[in-house]
Amino acid sequence: MDKQVKRIGILTSGGDAPGMNAAIRAVVRTAISHGIECVGIRRGWNGLINSDFIPMTASSVSHIINKGGTMLYTARSLEFMERSGREKALATCRLLGLDGIVSIGGDGTFRGALALSRQAAEEGLTLQTVGIPATIDNDIGCSHYTIGFDTACNTAIECIDKLRDTMQSHERCSVVEVMGRHAGYLALYVGLSVGATAVLIPEHPLDFEQDIVEKIRRARLAGSTHYMIVVAEGAGSAVDISRRIHDEVGLDPRVTVLGHIQRGGIPSARDRETASRMGYRAVMSLLEGRGNRVVVTQDGRITDLDMEEALQMVKPFPLERYQILDSLSFIRG
Ligand code: F6P
């Protein structure tokens, strides 16, 4: 019988995402309701290295479900990637008597959790870890959905709807850069939702003539007098794309880089509800003796997978939505 988990740490790591607070709240409330004590580790894995932590009670997480950002702060930790850094982290785990850690973040966060758990085991310490996927990029291979994606999409859509008003008035071309360092999930979802003329994503190598010039030409023939180009930052720079449109199409585009505004804001219902269910599942995984897991959504269901297997998983990019966008933008008049 596995040793019953009695005290867990919780942390957020990597780029923040709206809904992280809802996940923190769910983990803390579920743990406490099952007799498990909670310690908030601040500033990601650095919090373990630097003994930067706070006790978490049921009231510590009151009134945060509807707040963007993370009450535990977040950071990326280079020191934690070194064995010596994780040694310092383990010393804090021993000091606090932690036998479990819930980490909320992306792939890198989970790789750190797995490395820490393995290093702990080498030293005879049992440290069970569970990851909760949270990134606005939605680019974690093991989970259909990651906390923050829906809120970020809605933020971008609201901004682009505003841009469309002025682009329509001035009969202009707008080039909008959205986040997605290595992935086009956000750009494609937003592009489809705003009726973009074209969407550029890293998963589809750019053919400027076909992907931009031809689409603007067809839209113009269909009667459009303004054009909306959505660019994932991982597919290129909106400024460069705009310059090429100017030089090769003869338009005078206006560039908007949405940047970090997509990372903030009041979490949407989907993000709050998903985060709450994921946080609950993370604690139940530990209670039921399943350590080194990642909580994921699969077709709307919440489940948990072996962390090592989860980190090797790749999810197919929905390129068929690219064809849908192509058709819909074609008939747009
Ligand atoms: O990983 C989420 C993300 O928002 C990416 O889309 C973006 O490129 C990156 O984080 C920005 O990182 P930082 O906040 O460190 O500038």
Query: Does the beta carbon of 231 lie inside 6 Å of ligand 1?
Result: no
| Residue showing tokens 């950071």 | 75
What pLDDT, on a 0 to 100 scale, did the predictor assign at position 319? 84
Work out the pLDDT band at 329, boundaries 50, 70, 90: confident
The catalytic residue among 52, 99, 107, 137 is 137
Query: Does the beta carbon of 133 lie inside 6 Å of ligand 1?
Result: no
Q: What is the pLDDT of residues 34-53, one digit of tens each?
A: 999 999 999 999 999 999 99
Work out the pLDDT band at 332, boundaries 50, 70, 90: very low
Q: What percent of the chain has pLDDT over 90?
A: 93
Residues 6 or more apart whose CB falls under 8 angstroms from that of 53 comprise: 9, 39, 40, 41, 42, 47, 92, 96
DSSP letter at 134? B
**Strand residues in the chain grouped as ranges (E):** 7-12, 37-41, 53-56, 100-105, 128-133, 173-178, 198-200, 227-232, 254-257, 293-298, 301-306
Per-position DSSP letters for 157-170, written without gaps between them:
HHHHHHHHHHHHHH
What pLDDT, on a 0 to 100 scale, did the predictor assign at position 4? 85
Closest protein CA for atom 14 of ligand 1: 15
Tokens representing 88 are 């310092």
What pLDDT, on a 0 to 100 scale, did the predictor assign at position 279? 98
What pLDDT, on a 0 to 100 scale, did the predictor assign at position 26? 98
Question: Is 99 considered catalytic here?
Answer: no
Determine phi and psi for 256, rounding to 5 degrees: -130, 120
User: Are the C-beta atoms of 279 and 132 separated by less than 8 Å?
Assistant: yes
- Amino acid 86 reads R
What pLDDT, on a 0 to 100 scale, did the predictor assign at position 2? 55
Mean of pLDDT values over 143-158 = 98
| Residue showing tokens 């490395």 | 115
What pLDDT, on a 0 to 100 scale, did the predictor assign at position 36? 98
Would you put residue 265 in left (φ > 0), alpha (ψ -120 to 50) or beta?
left
Q: In this model, does residue 57 exceed pLDDT 80?
A: yes
Cα 141 versus chain centre, distance: 12
Tokens representing 219 are 């839209």
Mean of pLDDT values over 9-15 = 98
Mean of pLDDT values over 176-203 = 96
Residues 6 or more apart whose CB falls under 8 angstroms from that of 198 comprise: 191, 211, 212, 215, 216, 227, 229, 230, 329
What pLDDT, on a 0 to 100 scale, did the predictor assign at position 331? 54
Q: In this model, does residue 243 exceed pLDDT 70?
A: yes
- Distance CA(106)–CA(122), nearest Å, equals 25
What pLDDT, on a 0 to 100 scale, did the predictor assign at position 330? 64
User: Are the C-beta atoms of 230 and 176 separated by less than 8 Å?
Assistant: yes
- Distance CA(325)–CA(119), nearest Å, equals 47
Tokens representing 224 are 């459009």
CA of 15 to the centre of ligand 1 (A): 5
Taken in order of first residue, the domains within the chain and their CATH numbers are 7-148+267-312 (3.40.50.450), 151-264 (3.40.50.460)
- Distance CA(274)–CA(262), nearest Å, equals 19
* Atom in ligand 1 nearest the alpha carbon of residue 76: 15
* C-alpha pair distances (Å), 227 with each of 5, 51, 122, 171, 220: 56, 52, 58, 8, 9
Query: Does the beta carbon of 181 lie inside 6 Å of ligand 1?
Result: yes
Mean of pLDDT values over 127-149 = 98
Mean of pLDDT values over 155-174 = 98
Mean pLDDT, the chain, rounded, equals 96
Closest protein CA for atom 11 of ligand 1: 15
CA of 105 to the centre of ligand 1 (A): 12
What pLDDT, on a 0 to 100 scale, did the predictor assign at position 328? 84
Work out the pLDDT band at 88, boundaries 50, 70, 90: very high
CA of 181 to the centre of ligand 1 (A): 6
CA of 2 to the centre of ligand 1 (A): 38
Per-position DSSP letters for 169-232, written without gaps between them:
HHT-EEEEEE--SS--HHHHHHHHHHT-SEEE-TTS---HIIIIIHHHHHHHHTT---EEEEEE
206-220, 228-242, 296-310, 313-327: range with lowest mean pLDDT? 313-327
